[in-house]
Amino acid sequence: MSAPGVAVRRAAIDALVRIDRDDAYANLVLPSVLDGAELDERDRHLVTELVYGSTRRRRSLDWLYAPFVHRELDPEVRAALRVGTYQLHLTDVPDHAAVSATVGAVGGRVRGFVNAVLRKVAAVDVTWPDDATRLSYPDWILDRLRGDLGEEDALASLEAMNEPAVTHRREDGYVQDLASQWVVELCDAQPGERVADLCAAPGGKSTGLARSGATVVAGDLRPSRVALVAANAERTGAAGVHALVADAAAPPFPDQTFDRVLVDAPCTGLGVLRRRADARWRGGPEDVERLAELQRRIVDAAVPLVRPGGLLVYSVCTLTAAETLGVDAHLAAAWPQLEPLPAPPEPWRPWGRGGLLLPQAAGADGMMILRLRRPA
């Protein structure tokens, strides 16, 4: 463990074992692994890249080493092969360093096996069998986005979401992607207004809205998630945020209570896969229609809360037509009196009556927004 880089690979392998074996979330596992490792800042960044990168690209990695493996793999060996293969084909780490440090990080009984496999992987001249394997996504995600966005935009979106996310920090210290910050700006909350954020956790948009001087009622279904909203409001000094447990599909508020209602709805999250390394491997195609039905119920419950002259804002961090254009079409049919505001300008593109932000357009999350005015 004293050789250069071995501790880094050991930490990455430990994290990947927990993600694979325990079906744990990468963003929850990684901090605890880093806290238990005595690493400098540069090495901590490398562990983060190895864990997130190997998690995102696991289909590609498994395909690369599979021809040289003819036995069942335990979680540690599988994690080591993924970490090693990731370095060999998707980073600038020299091959000899990638192999030696990774082999040094595993137990003695399997070192020979891991060494032999990785040396064969290093010599592979890669020819991918299909785009889903090359890009490392489940078939259903690629197929769905090809059908909904078209070939060029689908592939470009998936390519973009294989890149590490860029950190953006607001003036109050809160880390929030640009797409979410733009949603807050497009809500255009004014000082003294009453705003409802019906699906508020973890509270980034609620605290952003409160910075305008508005009073924000931030609801979420689970008490633990509401506690997270309250903690973020306290941490950012957003005194105007009032967090409470509430079902967005049956909100406990009188009609026409709010000047603005934001529905940042639960969704498949197919626009934020660069930040959620393991999300592409969770769920399946059945989630699209299930969540679209929930989104329709939530917006139907939200519309009556908007005062005359007020604004309903619907946003989702996904790219499927059912969760974007489909919900827009539902609102148009069920609530024809609502008046759409113009689509936001570039890098957004017109999408139904709203706007769509593709991940490749601005280095931000994929997002859809729709703004509807209730007549005075």
Active-site residue list:
317
Residues 6+ apart with CB under 8 A from 257: 194, 196, 305, 307
| Residue that the structure tokens 């209730």 belong to | 374
How many angstroms separate the CA atoms of 313 and 303, rounded?
10
Indicate the helix (H) or strand (E) that contains 309: strand 306-316
How many angstroms separate the CA atoms of 90 and 122, rounded?
11
How many angstroms separate the CA atoms of 168 and 176, rounded?
6
What the block records as the tokens of 138 is: 């489940």
> Which residues does residue 356 pair with via DSSP β-bridges, in sequence order?
349, 368
What the block records as the tokens of 130 is: 């299909």
Cα 96 to Cα 35, 60, 104, 202, 249: the distances in Å are 28, 21, 12, 43, 56
> Which residues does residue 314 pair with via DSSP β-bridges, in sequence order?
263, 370
Nearest to 324 by CA among 149, 116, 72, 131: 149
Determine the 3-state secondary structure of 252 from DSSP. Answer: coil
Alpha helices by DSSP H, listed for 170-250, are 178-187, 204-210, 223-236
| Dihedral Cα 119, 66, 276, 152, nearest 10 deg | 100
Amino acid sitting at position 76: E
What the block records as the tokens of 296 is: 């329709």
How many angstroms separate the CA atoms of 209 and 215, rounded?
8
